[in-house]
Structure 1
Amino acid sequence: MLLLLGSCHLVLTFFSQKFYPRQAETRQQMEQDSPVLTRESTVWQGWVGNHASHSAGMMFVGANTLALGLQSFDRYTHSPVLPWLTLGVCGFYVFLAQRYWFWAPLVGLMVATGCLLASWVLARG
Structure 2
Amino acid sequence: MSAHLLILASAVIVFALGTLHLIYTFTTRKFHPHDPTLAQHMQQVAPRITRETSMWRAWIGFNASHSLGAMLFGLVFGELAMVHGAMLLGDPFLLSAGGLFLASLLVLARRYWFKIPLIGIALALVLYLTGASLALS
- Please, what TM-score do these two structures have when normalized by structure 2? 0.89
TM-score by length of structure 1 reads 0.97
The aligned residue for residue 89 of structure 1 is: 101
Q: After the TM superposition, which segments of 4 or more aligned residues of structure 1 sit over 4 Å from their partners?
A: none
Q: What are the equivalent positions in structure 2 for 1:84-123 lying under 5 Å apart?
A: 84-123=96-135
Q: Return the structure number with greater relative CO, CA threshold 8 A, min gap 6.
A: 2
Q: What amino acid does structure 1 have at the position aligned with 2:99? A: L
Q: CA deviation at 1:109?
A: 0.1
Please provide the CA RMSD for this pair.
Answer: 0.8
Percentage of identical aligned residues = 34
2-structure distance, mates of 1:15, 1:105: 19
1:52-63 equivalences under 5 Å are 52-63=64-75
Secondary structure of the equivalent of 1:40?
coil
Which residue in 1 is equivalent to 2:56? Answer: 44
What's the CA shift string for 1:21-60, capped at 9, x where partnerless?
Answer: 0000000000000000000000000000000000000000
Cα deviations across residues 68-125 of structure 1 (Å, max 9, x unaligned)?
Answer: 1111112101102001000101000000000011111000000001111111222333
